[in-house]
Structure 1
């Protein structure tokens, strides 16, 4: 797309001609015309692709359900196909939509009480959107132009909404599609929530042009997001400044995204140096950066910075969008030329505000939009935002009204003064019984949707005021900022950051960190998951890649502010991998004593190890970081093993140097027992080391990132060659040879990468065909244990459990390596007297060795 250089930008009032699109009364054209794109792909979802024809049929069926009589539809928004169908059905049939965040029950309840919707569309307990039709006809007088109601201030539940018309929506979508040059071959990921005008504009503008939407609710910090994006041949990403923080963390600049055409940024000011950095990154990688400026009151967009100017003029918001225009309004106290309040005109300017249901009958009350931003028109014709006239703050893409936050805190008996800037919301509160910074952050986060890290809170004896008696907002910002300090481990047990810092031994934990981003692995996963479940209740299956702020928000939706912690003994779930590690080590030790003869536990644990390898090491981080983390995990397995075997060798002389260096499998040996005891540890270290070498090759690293499941499946195929050992590489104990059992590790890896039922069915077939015959003499029970354990990993992510079982499973699973290492030299002293006691003491001794080894490792680190 070509743009004029800065010198060519006109110096008069800037207006880009753009015809107003025709709009049918009581309906938005792009929502009515979906079927015109026929078999083109409209949606790419985790369940598969949906064509425009199929989407149009679903929309038409839902529109028929809504009926011909206009009704107010409250929709719990989400980047899910069901929610989008309801939204488009209402827009196409002329039913005004009140779009609210689907993950905030408080906001849904508050706006339902304020506006008394005729229909409420929200998910049922199974994640399917259902229509609660409260009345056949509207209880309200709905203005003929009204199409959409959006909040201006995040998710505070404030009754003040923006009233948008069908013409607003169509004009804004047309304008955005024009300056971005959206094609019907484009595919945009839904990186922002649909109740936010920016996220919604991405959806509307792409549907207008017959492009595809990659419907996902994953964060860009999640490795699975990038798998979905690459698999769908994604061409565009949209982000607020916070999104770009996450992109920095996952090494976006070095990612290979062959189909990416452009990246858009809005939702707050991105520092000029970062704009220039991303513009240059895009130039090298072949995509363009569009910096944009907008407000909900303008349906989404008012200005954009042409990509050709991003590196040269990164401090500018650019020029008006097609069809829009700016003027500079006078502001008292500002005498600089071409500087004042930015005022916008265009067909996307809202009808006006609504503060109650009675306002739904009102027509247009606003002709031009006074943005509240102080702007300067530069000599080259580009506009720059230099300040704010109002107290509104845009933080992490959310427009926050500090006065509204003060009112919310007042409802809880807390006198406070709030001020905001581009980075955080500052809150000072009068010190009182039961009022502390943690509670303030929790209340504000719950009410306005900000993560706690973006809330600077402090209690003071008196609120600062100016000589005039007005609140001193600058002092509020300064004092609240001074209160921020890194969390001190051990002083706030309910602080998730403290918990992560304690278990992962990190000092750089932030609200944006996740277990995987902090270098968590399978050894720390057990303790972390169980401690989190005690704090938060049932965890989502992807908690290990979920940022702390989102886990905190999840907890906030389940528990009222100030309520006591989780009760012990409640019904829980237990991660299947943790359960199998706990059961597997008990089976191994119990069969060796023997208390019983149920073998197969070690081979199941190989599959679990492969599963965890894919989850914790094959992240979106760049190759050097992946390899460093993998090296640390190898050391955490090898070092305690070498130390223990060396100690036992000195005491018993049962082993030799090959055992100490975990190389027994590499040398010809006889069939005596002691030297084969640590085959499992050797195999695991070989696998991890070999894969580290493999993934150090840039070509193979890129192949794994492009096709995660395909790469894993290729390794399964390689493993199956070793499974049947055509070249006689296996040692005398065939079923314990690393070359033979690698296929189980690879199957676990592939299970973690399986995304569809077809993937899982394929792996199930491989399991059922290849595991039988692995063990000498058939051993049907052992075979069944291995097949059953890996089937659980493949199909069932969590198992029902109870707190006591979770704690016991966590102790055993977290110490499984150390129990395996030590039990050979514990149970022989007790088994003749009491096999059960020998089992219990072996488990307890291993747990103790694990605790000592972990503590020493952390101290040495």
Structure 2
């Protein structure tokens, strides 16, 4: 399985180096040989946004070494727990700290002292943690077939070809960021490795210098770009926007789609999960304006159904239930520890997403919430996602908000400057929710916060907020 096609290029913006053709092949082969000599077991690769990390990833895949892509900012205790449970053959680009028991530091890596270990299943290519920087994450097991099938399907619907130049504007340990890398390399396109992200000055300099053609972001990025008054007319080569990682407000979809159409560009809204390697849908750019609110139809090779409360699956339009996806890109399963690495495919291409939604008459998916994103207010079940949406729609001055369950009430953290004005806005938001749901205002504890905490992926760090209630 080779993830890069003829003509693929890696451009290192920080180092000024470009790898392509025979030189790219040779560099990946060099890394693959070194990784192939390590003891049996999974590899842990701490994935910074740099050329070395990309080469480690490509080298591991080329060497048929299962590799877990790890956030370099992962809490030390969480990393230690993962090492204990999965006993990796090596931790690549290890932290600047003493090696844990059973490991020896060697250059930038920690190498396991013991040669004994569990041999991962031969189909296993990549493992990604299920949660952010805290907790006790499981690892999602992604197959070579699934990764390649998803990369090809994404490239097809986004019309990626060798002329495209995509930046690494998302973390590479995040499934969305990884899929941008895969779907461009597989079509022989160029990937510019630039670490500052879409909110950094260096990114926009790189857009101009390298003629970057696309930008990928999660909802938070688009909220911030709106505040920064993003104007695509300033960047003549940038003509494609893609959005995933959660539902973007309909009004922002309209706004950014209109901006791109005005300069002859295009916008794609997508939906996915890490467990699907990771994307499942894309709204065609030419249909976005008349499908506002939709996540789109299934990618080529995939299919959706909806599971009703009685367990029956249906594709009948407008039936709301748990969204079920089928496709080659569905994970092999989860791994809780080292023994789970040897397991084969336990999902059979079927993924119960945990999302609630429905299909329309054309098979376009609409997500309405999460099964587990539920809170209770005085015994009444409420969708936390719906509450966030209601606060933004209330026109009280809150644009960024995160809701978490807190016993018999809900706490909503609103990104606002400190002061009496913030307190008044929060009271207005509480009253708006109370009026909407016909419940007492005390059930909606709206609190100002300087900045809503985010994971490295740009998604809201709900676990961190839960620790504040």
| 1:261–1:286 CA contact under 8 A, matched in 2 | yes
Residue aligning to 1:85: 55
Tell me, which stretches of 5 or more residues in structure 2 are unaligned?
Answer: 98-105, 376-381, 389-399, 421-447, 457-466
Q: Match for 2:299 among 321, 326, 342?
A: 321
Q: In structure 2, do the counterparts of structure 1 residues 77 and 376 end up closer, same or farther at CA, with 3 Å as the change threshold?
A: same
Residue aligning to 1:370: 352
Structure 1 residue 65, shift from structure 2 partner: 1.0
Q: In structure 2, do the counterparts of structure 1 residues 203 and 483 end up closer, same or farther at CA, with 3 Å as the change threshold?
A: closer
| 1:160–1:353 CA contact under 8 A, matched in 2 | yes
Q: In structure 2, do the counterparts of structure 1 residues 91 and 483 end up closer, same or farther at CA, with 3 Å as the change threshold?
A: closer
Structure 1 residue 49, shift from structure 2 partner: 3.0
Deviations 1:349-382 (A, max 9, x none): 0001111221111111112001112221112332
| Cα distance between partner residues in 2 of 1:316 and 1:212 | 30
Deviations 1:366-399 (A, max 9, x none): 1200111222111233221123223489xxxxxx
Residue aligning to 2:426: none
| 1:76–1:99 CA contact under 8 A, matched in 2 | yes
Residue aligning to 1:173: 151
Alignment of 1:341 onto 2:322: yes
Residue aligning to 1:582: none
Structure 1 residue 309, shift from structure 2 partner: 1.2
Q: Which has the higher helix share?
A: 1
Higher relative contact order (CA 8 A, sep 6+): 2
Deviations 1:806-832 (A, max 9, x none): xxxxxxxxxxxxxxxxxxxxxxxxxxx
| 1:351–1:363 CA contact under 8 A, matched in 2 | yes
Residue aligning to 2:331: 350
Residue aligning to 1:261: 239
| Cα distance between partner residues in 2 of 1:117 and 1:162 | 15
- What is the SS of the residue equivalent to 1:302? strand
| Cα distance between partner residues in 1 of 2:325 and 2:404 | 35
| Cα distance between partner residues in 1 of 2:122 and 2:413 | 52
Q: Match for 1:283 among 257, 261, 272?
A: 261
- What is the SS of the residue equivalent to 2:412? helix
Residue aligning to 1:48: 16
Q: Match for 2:93 among 98, 122, 129?
A: 122
Structure 1 residue 152, shift from structure 2 partner: 2.1
Deviations 1:241-295 (A, max 9, x none): 0010121122213551111231100000011121111111110022110100101
Structure 1 residue 312, shift from structure 2 partner: 1.4
Residue aligning to 1:518: none
| 1:95–1:147 CA contact under 8 A, matched in 2 | yes
Q: In structure 2, do the counterparts of structure 1 residues 483 and 230 end up closer, same or farther at CA, with 3 Å as the change threshold?
A: closer
Q: In structure 2, do the counterparts of structure 1 residues 392 and 154 end up closer, same or farther at CA, with 3 Å as the change threshold?
A: farther
| Cα distance between partner residues in 2 of 1:456 and 1:366 | 32
Structure 1 residue 156, shift from structure 2 partner: 2.5
Alignment of 1:153 onto 2:131: yes
Residue aligning to 2:427: none
| Cα distance between partner residues in 2 of 1:224 and 1:305 | 30
| 2:317–2:361 CA contact under 8 A, matched in 1 | no
- What is the SS of the residue equivalent to 1:276? helix
Residue aligning to 2:451: 511
TM (norm. structure 2) is 0.77
Structure 1 residue 139, shift from structure 2 partner: 0.9
Tell me, which stretches of 5 or more residues in structure 1 are unaligned?
Answer: 1-27, 394-417, 425-452, 465-471, 490-507, 513-546, 551-560, 563-861
Structure 1 residue 457, shift from structure 2 partner: 8.1
| 1:97–1:149 CA contact under 8 A, matched in 2 | yes
Q: In structure 2, do the counterparts of structure 1 residues 286 and 125 end up closer, same or farther at CA, with 3 Å as the change threshold?
A: farther
| Cα distance between partner residues in 1 of 2:120 and 2:307 | 33
Compute the RMSD of aligned alpha carbons.
3.4
Q: In structure 2, do the counterparts of structure 1 residues 213 and 379 end up closer, same or farther at CA, with 3 Å as the change threshold?
A: same
Q: Count residues with an aligned counterpart.
A: 400
Deviations 1:291-341 (A, max 9, x none): 001011101111110111111111111110011111122224999953322
- What is the SS of the residue equivalent to 1:238? strand
| Cα distance between partner residues in 2 of 1:48 and 1:239 | 25
Q: Which has the larger radius of gyration?
A: 1
Residue aligning to 1:629: none
- What is the SS of the residue equivalent to 2:293? coil
